[in-house]
Amino acid sequence: MSNKEAYKRLCDEIWEHNWHYYVKNAPKISDYAFDKLFEELIKIEAEHPEWISPSSPTQRVGEMVSGGFSVEKHQIPMLSLANSYSPEEVTEFLNRIEKLLHKQNITYLTELKMDGIAISVRYEEGVLVRAVTRGNGMEGEMITSNIRTIESLPLKLRGNFPKVLEARGEVYLSKTAFETLNKQQEKSGKPLFANPRNAAGGSLKLLNPIEVAKRKLAISFYGIADISPDAPTTQYEALKLLQKLGLPIAGEFKQCHHFDEIWNFAEKVEKMRPTLPFEIDGIVIKVDELGAQKKLGVTGKNYRWAVAYKFAPERTETVIREITVQVGRTGVLTPVAELDPVLVAGSTISRATLHNEDEVMRKDIRVGDSVFIEKGGDVIPKVVEVNKAKRPKSAQPWEMPTRCPACDTPVMRSEEEVAVRCPNRTGCPAQELKRIIFFTSKSGMDIDHLGEKIVTQLVEMGFVKRLSDIYELTAEQLFQLKNFKEKAVQNILSSLEASKDVPLGRFIMALGIKYVGAETADLLAERVGDLEKVALMTEEELLELEGIGPKVAEALVTYFADHDHQDEITRLLENGVKPSVQKVVGFQDHLFRGKTFVLTGGLEHYTRDHARSLIKERGGKVTSSVSKSTDYVLAGEDPGSKYEKAQKLGVKILNEEEFLALL
């Protein structure tokens, strides 16, 4: 075939079959016939490379990205959705919309809430030209080369396409693709992904599109950000147009006219949830008329015209095969249920914490029991209930061991707390391993590339026996780790060096002192300002500091009086660790001066530590619990019980945009 027009028709034919296969799930020809067409296309392009366009079906996988992804500003911000969790909250949303629009009988559109990574994809003259992640809502990373690898995404639109189209969607992994990926990770000795969303996000960050293509990502679109000409007038029309142009939309969507119709849709989808081939965590309710959406606008970082209704955590039944006991860094013994592996909310769960002995007794959890598992906030797996109708006759009540499973030391029970502890602080290998893992973690010294599995290897091989050994690691030792080559070794050595310059508060936190969290560590750094002075303070002196109670004061004095701890800190300092107090920028008479803040939920523009430091720079303080004396609660995504308590107490709640304005 030497005719260029015939070549273009072949491209279109292949795209048509591709669409029927990946989007409609209704192939028109066999895989063999499709492969023959594709082989013909490759042959033609080899003979006429000048004919190849970016929209050719052969051009899915591009060149490897060098130097990381560039940052691109969104012309139209990508904001987030407010959440609702009950029929009452959905009703409140509907009433609020009627009030704001000054009318009733409003049409809404209900859609599935995909649990994926939000992106914006732009087509010009029908050809895909750009794809950008949501990022912070204002700007994101340009990931066009990786998005092109998604088989269900057309590189060229179907039919009579608009001159310009920017569509918003979610990249996700199907349940099957996720299971396959984790099997590959396990086979390669790499860490497993926690859930499909994390796996999709990690895949989009890969710099090699060939590797991205292997992950089998999928995409579903939910709206139009920009179109020219002939924009639709409703959300329903927008989704129909996207489908007509060949863009995939996962699951059904429905126009609804009142609460009952919306709720029927929600209940129907929730029943379907376990059988869907992909993960969802709820439905989205939108005002259907796009003109009304524009009129309603936004509030803070959320759209005022839409809300997500989040389903309750997914629950699955499985069997407890064993109850093991883990020993934490402070010596606390924690019972853990070893389960028959089961898929819960997108993750394969084989273990779940049982928290403490009292929890096991209260729920009467036994080895052999059939239990219901759910993930709290769709993140942490937990045993919520025993199915006693299926309890084996041989099942016996569980008892906490009387000796530490790691070092055989008799355990201690305190009347002041529920916890059972191993008192062997310096000789228990399990405690030492957990302390070292915590020391290197993000909450501790934040040493990149030194995760839990690598630290465990280092301890098992005898290279690391205490905290200071971390900074005495050599390249020769690291090369002995499984699958470690030059780049991995250099990454760790560079990260170790970079972590030595550490704020004093973070260093105190990393030491893992009982009862000392981030706020207490920061308080000591700010009020005392010197590690040696902190180590020499008496309980009386510590109690004079606002925010330090008797338990914390006693724990600090006990820790720093221990000769092993003194030697360890000396070795860390000799190895180049330099804890320093960060200079605080002065703000005269700032609004935050003397105000008490509580932080809750995930923040987009800042880390928790950064937000805390900004508040403190301006004379405010941050506490961990909400009370009547709290002035502000800064609430991010998915806030928890602190948000609800603030509402009940009438405490002022700030979203990030309001916080930015007050800064």
Query: Are the C-beta atoms of 519 and 622 separated by less than 8 Å?
Result: yes
Q: Please, what is the angle between helix 4-22 and helix 31-47, to 10°?
A: 150
| C-beta of residue 338 within 8 angstroms of C-beta of residue 114 | no
Residue 63 buriedness (CB in 10 A; 0-12 / 13-18 / 19+): exposed
Tokens 């099942």 belong to residue: 395
Rg of the chain's alpha carbons, rounded to an integer?
28
Query: Per the residue annotation, which of 99, 113, 187, 393 is the catalytic one?
Result: 113
Task: Count the alpha carbons within 13 Å of 543 in the hemisphere toward its beta carbon.
Answer: 7
Identify the bridge partners of residue 315 per DSSP, sorted by sequence position: 374
Q: Are strands 420-421 and 218-228 parallel, antiparallel or unpaired?
A: unpaired
For residues 60 and 39, give the distance between their C-alpha atoms in angstroms, rounded to a whole number.
15
Rounded alpha-carbon distances, angstroms, from residue 214 to 18, 150, 184, 191, 194? 17, 10, 11, 17, 19
List the structure tokens of 425: 């602080």
Q: Before 229, cis peptide (omega within 30)?
A: yes
Question: Facing residues of 342 across strands?
Answer: 349
DSSP-assigned states of every residue in 495-541: HHHHHTEEEHHHHHHHTT-TT--HHHHHHHHHHT--HHHHHH--HHH
User: What residues contact 351, with CB distance under 8 A and at least 6 apart?
Assistant: 336, 337, 338, 339, 381
What are the two backbone dihedrals, phi and then psi, of residue 298, each rounded to the nearest 5 degrees? -130, 165
183 is catalytic: no
Question: Which of 496, 454, 494, 455 minimizes the C-alpha distance to 472?
Answer: 496
Instruction: For residues 316 and 181, give the distance between their C-alpha atoms in angstroms, rounded to a whole number.
Output: 22
Query: Could you give the CA distance from residue 642 to residue 653 in angstroms, rounded to a whole number?
Result: 10
Tokens, residue 589: 């008479």
Gap between the Cα atoms of 173 and 278, Å rounded:
7
Catalytic residues: 113
